[in-house]
Amino acid sequence: MDFRLSEEQQQFVDSLRRWVEKDYDFETRQQIVKSDAGVSDVAYASLVDLGAVALAVPEDAGGLGGQAEDMMLVMKELGRGLVAEPYFSTVLAADFLRRGGKTDLLQSVASGQLKLACALNEKESGHELFNIAVSARKEGDEYVIQGVKCAVVHGAQAGGFVVSVRSSGEVRDTGGISLLYVPRNAQGLTVTEYRTYDGQRGADLRFDNVRVPASALIGVEGAGWDILEAATDYGVALLCAEAVGAMEAANDLTLEYLKTRKQFGVPIGSFQVLQHRMGDMLVHTAQARSITTLAAVSALTAQPEDRRKLVSAAKVRVGKAMKFVGQQAVQMHGGMGMTDEMSVSHYFKRLTAIEATLGNTDFHRNRFIQQPGFSAV
């Protein structure tokens, strides 16, 4: 398989990187995340103008119909720039809508008019997305939703939510799961926002007898698990791509610091032990990049069994790399690496958050082991 970028892909990557360097540098990013809004409408509009948002929407819904590898390139560049806009949350929710045929909503997403978020997590569920207590009962031509979703990334910035609910069955059944689209202005919906430790924004959603029409159903009632699992696997592949971009940036920062910081009259990069550490960081990143590419190009096309293996293997390998690269980058910067003024500390925080999103390293290791055909021998 040829992994070289096409001319169009390279031009798009260059455009994104120029935008980050010019309009979303570290100082600008700090001002944005510390503001009351926590995001920038101007920055998101720039992503729309660049075509990054439309890339996630099929052509028949007004988008550009980008492939998974195209989306991987976008996420990688956003990871390099520590971009804290509601892009990933919107793209992931858009994939749910695509699978459910919600073309009218996708057109609003492609134009930048509608930002989205996914309400999938609950306090007692851990990383098990099938562990759902939020209920939805059918009353006439409406669904009535009751319960609480937590840790909704960019929930307060969204104009609508993809919500996983329990329409039948027991709490931990994969059957009986339904997916609903809930607009932000739905009566009975309360959104409580907070800042997350990586500088982004999260929210808890409380549903007090929230009513949505039957047309809000995404897919088939009670059979939403297949869409939920497939869409979040795609999301994991995109998060791995963001992590690769963040690790590349952390490596660049660390290498530059080793060249300029002096001890005993010489650059600390001349010390062999630090050279070895830097080499290990680059190896970890290269391996993470390779398996992320494999997972990304297979996320939308592989059979479910193969997809689960590839995605979980990628999250495990990338998780190991994130921990090593992040810790070494901070340590080699010394005490300064822990400060808010140094961008390397923010890369470490973001990598830590990615590791815990949509299943951490331990969760995906266990998931990989449970797949058919695995042998520990």
What is the pLDDT, as a whole number, of residue 6? 87
Angular region, 213: left φ>0, alpha ψ -120 to 50, beta rest: beta
Angular region, 359: left φ>0, alpha ψ -120 to 50, beta rest: left
pLDDT tens digits, 208-252: 999 999 999 999 999 999 999 999 999 999 999 999 999 999 999
Q: How far apart are CA 361 and CA 275, in angstroms?
A: 28
The dihedral built from the CA positions of residue 230, 208, 158 and 160, taken in this order, carries a sign that is: positive
Binned at pLDDT 50, 70 and 90, residue 87 comes out as very high
**Percent of the chain at pLDDT above 70?**
98
Residue-averaged pLDDT of the chain: 95
Burial 316-331 (b: 16+ CB within 10 A, else e): bbbbbbbbbbbebbbe
Which domains does the chain possess?
7-115 (1.10.540.10), 118-222 (2.40.110.10), 226-369 (1.20.140.10)
- Please report which residue ranges of 261-303 form alpha helices under DSSP H: 272-298
Binned at pLDDT 50, 70 and 90, residue 263 comes out as confident
Binned at pLDDT 50, 70 and 90, residue 336 comes out as confident
**Percent of the chain at pLDDT above 90?**
89
